Amino acid sequence: MSGLSFERLREVLDYDPETGRFTWLVDRPQRVKAGDLAGYIDKSRGDGYYRIGIDRQWYQASRLAFLWMTGEWPQGEVDHKNANTKDDSWSNLRDATRPQNQHNRGVRKDSSTGFKGVRFQRSAHGNRCGYYVAQIRVNGKRVYIGSFKTAEEAAAAYATAAIEHHGAFARS
């Protein structure tokens, strides 16, 4: 992954597994003292991750937590179980594949129904009459779950399918 070793990480940072926050063990340039909180939320990327600079390289704090706790970099992506990218407590982090991490995403901001995996299907005539369709992604393919009279019924069907197909990574 990178040139940062477990030993170097432990030389410069301390990690609190309960809070998920890192603190500096050494004084740094730009008025940073040992004991200060490390990292900042990179708002320019819009993803809400804490980032920490070590030896002129930037790292996501969640990935550093994995290295700090296990002595190894995560194999895949780091998934935040509660979907809060600012919560880097150890109990909230897990190694995940890209699809598993995607399954744990919440409702899209542009969702017209307010439910993950649910969309409104207008009638063939384009009027407001129609039904709600539930779909889920499984192994990269869209799978039709069913059509329902209400968005709530479709959301319940999606939630059941998410648990069946995505297990611990299911989020509805």
Instruction: Convert 43-84 into a string of H (helix), E (strand) and C (coil).
Output: CCCCCCCEEEEECCEEEEHHHHHHHHHHCCCCCCEEEECCCC
* Count of domains for the chain: 2
In a domain, 65, yes or no: yes
pLDDT band at 42 (very low <50, low <70, confident <90, very high): confident
Q: Do residues 110 and 78 share a domain?
A: no
In a domain, 70, yes or no: yes
pLDDT for residue 1: 47
In a domain, 1, yes or no: no
User: pTM to 2 decimals?
Assistant: 0.70
Q: Do residues 87 and 125 share a domain?
A: no
- How many beta carbons lie within 10 A of that of residue 42, not counting itself? 14
Question: End of a domain among 49, 72, 96?
Answer: 96
Name the residue range of residue 36's domain: 6-96
Residue 109 Rama label (left phi>0; alpha psi -120 to 50; beta): alpha
Any idea what the CATH number is for the domain that residue 111 is in?
3.30.730.10
pLDDT for residue 59: 95
In a domain, 101, yes or no: no
Q: Do residues 156 and 89 share a domain?
A: no
pLDDT for residue 126: 61
pLDDT band at 106 (very low <50, low <70, confident <90, very high): low
Q: Do residues 57 and 132 share a domain?
A: no
Residue 83 pLDDT > 70: yes
Mean pLDDT score, 89-110: 81
pLDDT band at 140 (very low <50, low <70, confident <90, very high): confident
- Assess contact for 132 and 151: CB atoms under 8 A: yes
Any idea what the CATH number is for the domain that residue 83 is in?
3.90.75.20
pLDDT for residue 53: 93
In a domain, 10, yes or no: yes
pLDDT band at 168 (very low <50, low <70, confident <90, very high): confident
Residue 118 pLDDT > 70: yes
In a domain, 126, yes or no: yes
